[in-house]
Amino acid sequence: TTVGSGFFKAIQAPLGKLPLMAVGGVSLKNVKDLLTHGTSYLGIGSNMFNQEDLINRDVAGLAASLQAFVDIKNTL
């Protein structure tokens, strides 16, 4: 079952702040939304890196992908 960022906010309403983790489908497109709606942790898998950067062993590209996630987190 897939749940959106609203799930995390809704589950915490009656229970209080819980350390919840989002896994599966976490990407640059939704990471900010997840973090601002109550997730404390993110499990980022295949969306962490650009596939071509992995194939080409492009260290600069891989580092840029990681930095993009860090930059979003740092804006919150």
Task: Measure the CA–CA gap between 73 and 76, rounded to whole angstroms.
Answer: 6
Give whole-number Cα distances, 69 to 19, 35, 53, 58, in Å. 19, 11, 16, 17
Q: How confident is the model at residue 1 (pLDDT cuts 50, 70, 90)?
A: low
Assign 46 to helix, strand or coil. Answer: coil
What pLDDT, in 10s, does the model give residues 20-73?
999 999 999 999 999 999 899 999 999 999 999 999 999 999 999 999 999 999
